[in-house]
Chain A
Amino acid sequence: NAGVTQTPKFQVLKTGQSMTLQCAQDMNHEYMSWYRQDPGMGLRLIHYSVGAGITDQGEVPNGYNVSRSTTEDFPLRLLSAAPSQTSVYFCASSSLRQGVSNQPQHFGDGTRLSIL
């Protein structure tokens, strides 16, 4: 059972470089989301999607873009990396039932990103 798969697991970038963090799930979940985890701040929502072609901003969207062309994939793009984006990034997915917030989210193992 693959669940939620994130690649790469580690990445080092230079300021100004661009990169895409990949996320794929095989559970046919409608809802997918990206969080960043920083010490002492828990996880903060960056962007989320409720289905193919539908995305919206979360709590900390600046500097990140997303798209959802398929149910399975939800990539996160950093267009011009900044040191403030050094963090651990988690992708999560869950089913949606009438849009309510009671479905547990399944998390990937994370991508550790360092911006020099």
Chain B
Amino acid sequence: AQSVTQPDIHITVSEGASLELRCNYSYGATPYLFWYVQSPGQGLQLLLKYFSGDTLVQGIKGFEAEFKRSQSSFNLRKPSVHWSDAAEYFCAVGANSGGYNKLIFGAGTRLAVHP
């Protein structure tokens, strides 16, 4: 079965510290992988996506993610966190169901940033 696991429900970091949010997926074929961010009271905004090619992908707001097929992982990283990065982050895998577009989401990781 297709699934996405985000092991960390809450993470707290200090402003300026580095960040890594973990994501593991289960999918039989080559995955299409996404990271979305949700600020309080808002919808989801796409941070970055992986389809093929270079396994290190760059996104908006200084985020990057690395696809590791051997570990079935797609971890999100940022070298220096800003207070405005406090939000909830969702990893998702794009799956084909009857040939149509479907996103399977992880449960999310809520990031708090201390000044």
Q: Interface on A for B, CB 8 Å cutoff?
A: 4, 31, 33, 35, 40-45, 48, 50, 56, 58, 90, 92, 94, 96, 99-105, 107-110
Contacts of B36 in A (CB 8 A): 107
Contacts of A107 in B (CB 8 A): 36, 43-45
Other than the given A42-B6, A42-B106, A58-B102, 9 more pairs (CB < 8 A) read A42-B4, A45-B102, A96-B101, A99-B96, A100-B101, A101-B96, A101-B102, A107-B45, A110-B43
Interface of B, helix, strand, loop or mixed by DSSP: strand
How far does the Cβ of A88 sit from chain B's closest Cβ, in whole Å?
10
Q: Given A48-B102, A96-B101, do A104 and B49 touch, yes or no (CB 8 Å)?
A: yes
Interface size on B, residues (CB 8 A): 28
Among B41, B43, B51, B100, which residue has its beta carbon within 8 angstroms of that of A99? Answer: B100
Contacts of A48 in B (CB 8 A): 100-102
How many Cβ-Cβ contacts under 8 Å join chain A to chain B?
A: 76
Q: Given A42-B105, A42-B107, do A104 and B43 touch, yes or no (CB 8 Å)?
A: no
Instruction: A111 to B49: give the CA distance in the assembly, Å.
Output: 26
Contacts of A100 in B (CB 8 A): 32, 96, 101
